[in-house]
Structure 1
């Protein structure tokens, strides 16, 4: 007897609108295992060894909704799954979809462990999970999706083994470690920061000096970073809406990054969620649960161009949301964005 499946059905009967991730928590399981329990009824396991082909095949579905989330932020973008390129380095598979204004993705496929086709009450989906059973990326049908292409895709890449049981690894949740100050070459780190040539080189800088991101930002204060109140997001979004200033919104988990580029229009607080509810783009944020936030500056190889960002973190020190003023490579961000960042910087809204 599929006990987990029966428990899930009973829970949905009591709470029809419960999210799968919340249902998994209530049932003391993972979201991936909850989906696996539906194999043979509402779910089909796909072959993770063909994940690159599955993702490239999503283009034939035409119009879909892509979703990437972490515990505090959900990013949903409607569009076409196109311009997807895959690569492999040191036996680590990656994928990138460069579609500014559309479905724009950075996917760390080597961290993906399972993938399912899941039928919901009013749509179909492709759902991807890591080895811990956590959702890393999902793709949902819309009214404009080519459903025949969806059926062909899942038929082609169905796993030969369709089991209701999914093995996962337990995840140990812990805060990112801060090194003691005497073990950090702060002067060398700040010198390397000042000589950055490309904002994309920043993660390598953290690795080189073996510091986590929030500690790096603390070290960089007050020249390259400034901590602000984590509750600043609604003010930032309201300002961007008023100015109709284009922003890039990065939402990430350990295995995927999804990026929205454009303006913001319909902003609304619903319960604990602060939302952007625009046509083609939805963002849902538990902004009251942000633990820390920083305005950050990074130099580039063009001495006149300093890139400003606003970064938000959870209580464990994980990045959950990052904002950039939209720009084209090599060019400056808009004066409106820079002025907003400088305004927050000067107020020094330190909790």
Structure 2
């Protein structure tokens, strides 16, 4: 991943079966802490969890647009985690050098990994102290504190929202994603889109212009940014507010029937800056769920 920056502008794609997010951007500096990585560049930010990575391939395919080159990474079950595809402004010689540097010998055997489920582990709410959990939520100073809060109480993200105080998490209508994306595209409000899987989480930010529906798919098709989301796989949607030193940070969070996060939609903001009033007002206008799940 540290070598991908030499390729110039590429397309980064991360997601799962029901939701994928792709952005054209150069990769910035790759940082490593234990088995976790972080990459940011242009409109792209990646958080990488290498413990889930098992196999990687350099792929060359003949397409209608010519030879397409990519790097594709998978977990031990063969499910895709992250893909890097070269584009018109990518540096092909740098790609060839990177592949030559890391190519496995022809007779190499892939290491065997224990299969693990992508479904989040359930944690009975009866084992969690609700008062301590809600106090921890209210005392957060940066949104990143939320991940530590989940680990401390052994909760999945969805279980945390179900346990949170209504001032911080409320279930909303399942059509909220379409409404929010369409209205943001109409007004030019820049958003932050986040999609991921157990091996990678990708966030892309910027204004949207083209939001459309094709069958079950809700799609954002802008130059350099694509989101594909199956609306029929959204089992629950939540309006979430996380405390921060600069004020509340709001988002719309979408989950499938197994409790896995499909996507998180937020307002674009620079670190340390308060979120835009226009985003807060848009999210506040989303209808609450008619009846509890």
Judge same fold: TM > 0.5, yes or no.
Answer: yes
Number of the residue aligned with 1:253: 197
Aligned residue in 1 for 2:266:
324
User: 2:289 is matched with which residue?
Assistant: 349
Partner of 1:280 in structure 2?
224
Q: Structure 2 vs 1, CA of residues 237 and 173 (structure 1 numbering), >3 Å: closer, same or farther?
A: closer
TM-score by length of 2: 0.91
Which structure 1 segments of 5+ residues have no match? 1-54
Does the alignment pair 1:242 with 2:186? Answer: yes
Q: Which has the higher strand share?
A: 2
Query: How far apart, in 2, do the equivalents of 1:220 and 1:57 lie?
Result: 41
**Structure 1 residues 260, 340: closer, same or farther in 2, change over 3 A?**
same
Per-residue deviation, 1:334: 0.7
1:62 aligns with 2:23: no
- Find the aligned partners of 1:165 and 1:110 in 2 and give their Cα distance: 15
The CA distance in 2 between the partners of 1:153 and 1:209, in whole Å, is 42
Aligned match of 2:22: 76
Partner of residue 69 from structure 2, selected from 118, 121, 124: 124
Correspondence 1:87 to 2:32? yes
Residue 108 of structure 1, aligned match among 25, 49, 52: 49
Larger Rg: 1
Per-residue Cα deviation, 1:234-280 (whole angstroms, up to 9, x for no partner)? 11111111121111001110010111100111112122211111001
Instruction: Describe the SS at the equivalent of 1:348.
Output: coil
Structure 2: runs of 5 or more not aligned? none
1:136 counterpart = 2:93: no
The correspondence of residues 110-259 of structure 1 with structure 2, limited to 5 A, is 110-122=51-63, 123-162=68-107, 167=112, 169-172=114-117, 174=119, 176-181=121-126, 183-259=127-203
RMSD of equivalent CA atoms: 1.9
Residues 46-77 of structure 1, C-alpha deviations (whole Å, 9 max, x = no match): xxxxxxxxx22222221211110112111111
Distance 1:167 1:313, change over 3 A: same
1:315 Cα deviation after fit: 0.9
Q: 1:348 to 1:132 in 2, by over 3 A?
A: same
> 1:298 is matched with which residue?
242
Query: How far does residue 149 in structure 1 lie from its aligned partner after superposition?
Result: 1.7
**TM-score normalised per structure 1:** 0.77
Q: Following TM superposition, by how much is the alpha carbon of 1:201 offset from its aligned partner in structure 2, in angstroms?
A: 0.8
**Cα distance in 1 between the residues matched to 2:71 and 2:16:** 18
Q: CA deviation at 1:113?
A: 1.3
For 2:41, what is the secondary structure of its paired residue?
A: coil
Counterpart-to-counterpart distance in 2, 1:147 and 1:76: 20
Contact 1:114–1:129 under 8 Å retained in 2:
yes
Q: Identify, as 1 or 2, the structure richer in helix.
A: 1
Residues in 2 aligned to 1:196 and 1:280: alpha-carbon distance in whole angstroms? 34
Is the 1:176–1:318 contact (alpha carbons within 8 Å) kept by the matching residues of 2? no
Residue by residue, what CA displacement relative to the aligned partner does 1:215-252 show, whole Å, maximum 9, x if unpaired?
A: 21112141211001222211111111112111100111
**Cα distance per residue 1:70-111 (max 9 Å; x no partner):** 121111111212x2222233xxx222122352x321111232
Higher RCO (Cα < 8 Å, 6 or more apart): 2
Distance in 2 between the 1:251 and 1:162 partners?
36
Paired residues in the alignment total 287
SS at 1:211 equivalent: coil
- C-alpha deviation, 1:173, in angstroms: 5.8
1:199 aligns to what SS in structure 2? coil
Please report how far the alpha carbon of residue 178 of structure 1 lies from its aligned counterpart in structure 2 after TM superposition: 4.1
* 1:315 alignment counterpart: 257
SS in 1 for 2:2: helix
Partner Cα distance (2:160, 2:128) in 1 = 10
1:198 CA displacement: 1.1
Asked if 2 retains the 8 angstrom alpha-carbon contact of 1:74 and 1:283, the reply is yes
